[in-house]
Homo-oligomer: A and B are copies of this chain.
Amino acid sequence: MKIAIMGFGVVGGGVGEIIRKSPDGLLSRSGEKIEIKRILDLRDFPDSPFTCFTKDFNDILQDEEIEIVAEVMGGTKPAYEFTKQLLLAGKHVVSSNKELVAKHGTELLEIAKEKNVSYLFEASVGGGIPIIRPLYSSLSANELTAVLGILNGTTNYILTQMIKENASFDDALKGAQEKGYAEKDPTADVEGHDTCRKIAILASLAFGKYVNSEEIKTEGITKITLQDVAYAEQIGCVIKLLGMASKEKDGVYARVCPALLKKDHPLAGIDDVFNGIMVQGDAIGDVMFYGRGAGSLPTASAVVSDIIEITKQKDSHIRLGWTEGCEGYLLDSNQQKFRYYLRVSGNPETAKFSGCQVITVDKPEFSGEFAILTPVLSGDEFEVLKNTVAASFDILGFIRMVAE
């Protein structure tokens, strides 16, 4: 089986290393020897053990011996055009590119089906954690009802540092950058965009209709403070950045936001750069998947597992995918109900809001402020409550709570 790699960065390099290191292992597990015939990258790699580099996409597209291409370039330009042309030419494509799958997955999967080839993207969500294949294969006997996940290692590392080491957001971010867990421009991670693309892919696959990541309400963790962490601790909770999607009768709710989780929630114990994804099905109940959500070798191992899967079934189209979503399928997220944690400045003794629990932290630096935990409210109901509270107190912040 001859393959090509497009993009020789962190993931592409890992794919090369895994295949080069273990040719016999992969032979026994795939039934064929897997050989890298071409690597596309505009850069030069004079010290690489590989000698099959090219800067010309046509060297891959027009090579009839190459049956599988690993697209690990990232971004949509030129990955979208390249992938489309490869599928149209009857080549299988595997991808780690969450942006491309979230944006153009519907069309690319459709082309793959028509051309009787496969388009797989296990590496696009959860790094090396097997999550895409379980959704379309292992859990296929279930009507899936919800997906809830810690999908971004960078933000989980930052929050873990805030919770366990009492580091401020800025210090934790700086530490993450120093360790190579966060980019110089951390926006995509800390603002939740990365999580958003991943939950869009999971929701599309789990519930069978396309969910557009650009329409998902997305909040990051930049406003989370150490005070929030302390109030959460007070009620036995931790704060995690969650991607969430759930199936309702008429459509789906999807959202990315920081949330309070009770400490006995299976996702609450997932710390540092680890990812965890919880899936709910009608037959299985809750299942959870946990592991390293990023990194060269974990992510590359997911890419290679897709290559092996296709090698085992190279003459057929591996069925997975979703159909176009219809108007109104993504439900108004304002209608989704949560309990809310609300932090305010003022005297807790004057706070009287029906059904709400008052939380205080008995430390000098928390004098003159407190928090409220509301009952279950829709977004609109919470707006009303917030306005009522704002009449007597200054609102310092709020976070949703995920029950279970």
Hey, which bits of chain A sit against chain B, CB under 8 A?
Answer: 14, 18, 22, 25-26, 28-31, 122, 128-130, 133-134, 136-143, 208, 264, 266, 269, 281-292, 297-298, 300-305, 307-309, 312-313, 316, 318-319
Contacts and interface: CB of A to CB of B under 8 A. Distances in A.
B283 A300 contact: yes
Nearest to A14: B283
Nearest to A15: B141
A210 to B, nearest CB: 15
A285 B298 contact: yes
Contacts of A128: 281, 283-285, 287
What 9 A-B pairs have minimum CB-CB distances, sorted nearest first? A130-B138, A141-B304, A287-B291, A283-B301, A128-B284, A288-B290, A141-B301, A283-B297, A130-B134
Among A142, A208, A269, the most chain B Cβ lie within 10 Å of the Cβ of: A142
A31 to B, nearest CB: 6
Nearest to A17: B283
16 contacts: A18-B141, A26-B140, A29-B136, A130-B130, A130-B138, A130-B287, A139-B301, A141-B303, A269-B269, A283-B298, A283-B300, A286-B291, A288-B289, A289-B289, A289-B290, A290-B290
Given A283-B304, A285-B298, 5 more contacts: A18-B283, A134-B138, A140-B309, A287-B292, A313-B316
B288 A142 contact: no
Contacts of A264: 269
Contacts of A137: 130, 133, 137, 305, 308-309
A174 B303 CA distance: 48
A138 B301 CA distance: 9
A283 B29 CA distance: 16
Given A283-B14, A284-B297, A140 B289 contact: no
Nearest to A31: B319
Nearest to A29: B140
A283 B289 CA distance: 17
A139 B301 CA distance: 7
A290 B286 CA distance: 8
